[in-house]
Structure 1
């Protein structure tokens, strides 16, 4: 009788193995066939064509300025990133990836119904449309710009970059903000390339601002 029990156990193990092993093999084949993007950063936005030699084609933006208390209050908006030892190519890949996370955000400003007794009337519909369009233009655009800054700062900080304050007019030379309209692609990547040049080569004298 014990031999019968052992035989049954052996058969059961063979059945389990025959059901399990093909599933494991299929999963391994599927994982091997999965596309790999930028192994150095794990970007979900696909490969970026860039080399360190591309940095020689760019002009270094001006960063030196005398800090005033008024300008220092705006360093949450106007700043640049630096990571000592990073190559230009890696800095550009990092900035493009973080820009991918930060673009196309929704402001959260949605349609608001007009109050009674104007709800459901032609005048109320027209007035509501105008009012909501104005609210989106004024508040929605500002909120999208704020959300972009938050995402860029968080993403670059996670990748090891430090943030340094910059005067507004100098910042505008190689940065952009997005409200209700997006930056054209050619101009967008021109700005990002110069940001990468600064991030990989600048030697800031100001204090680190952190996240």
Structure 2
């Protein structure tokens, strides 16, 4: 059995890297402006993740793993605290998204007006809860730039966030973590 695992490991690693999007084909937004006092003050809401000495492949794997929490940020989830049990390997977890509310078109429009960017903020908070223990730091970002980074769990968004997280050191100070 150990010999079979040793032989299968290189093939598994090659398949995982073959599926990675090419970071050269990804255009990241301009992340400057993180030293502006107004941007730093709003950094609690508008930020991106970065970690020193992180490869694009590792960042992509981390964001892809944490993306399983993002569908939970739909509906009224931004208003409710949430606990997700960490049970075993990724393939053993129940990542079924919570049921969405069916209020119809008018209800969805009213909800969108009331909630604003709360769903996107909740998704970012869930990413933070997953990425902070892995050593990722948060850096402030102007709101206009933050809005250009999608809050979904698509492969393109994961690739963009991974490129940012594994890129050059930001020209700003990291945000303080709440203890």
TM category (shorter chain) comes to: 0.5 to 0.7
- Give per-residue Cα distances to partners, 1:50-80, cap 9 Å, x unaligned: 27xx222223432222643332222122211
Q: What is the aligned partner in structure 1 of residue 37 from structure 2?
A: 69
Structure with bigger RCO (C-alpha 8 Å, 6+ apart): 2
1:83 aligns with 2:51: yes
Work out whether residues 61 and 194 of structure 1, in 8 Å CA contact, stay in contact via their aligned partners in 2: no
Size of the alignment, in residue pairs? 141
Pick from 58, 70, 91 the counterpart of residue 26 of structure 2. 58
Pick from 190, 197, 201 the counterpart of residue 163 of structure 2. 197
Work out whether residues 107 and 143 of structure 1, in 8 Å CA contact, stay in contact via their aligned partners in 2: no
Give me the TM-score of the superposition, normalised by structure 2: 0.61
Change in Cα spacing, 1:73 to 1:60, as seen in structure 2 (3 Å) is same
Pick from 144, 150, 174 the counterpart of residue 176 of structure 1. 150
Work out whether residues 23 and 56 of structure 2, in 8 Å CA contact, stay in contact via their aligned partners in 1: yes
Work out whether residues 35 and 171 of structure 2, in 8 Å CA contact, stay in contact via their aligned partners in 1: no
Highest CA radius of gyration, 1 or 2?
1
Q: CA deviation at 1:138?
A: 3.5
Q: CA deviation at 1:209?
A: 0.9
Give the unaligned 5+ runs of structure 2. Answer: 1-11, 78-103
Cα RMSD after superposing both structures: 3.6
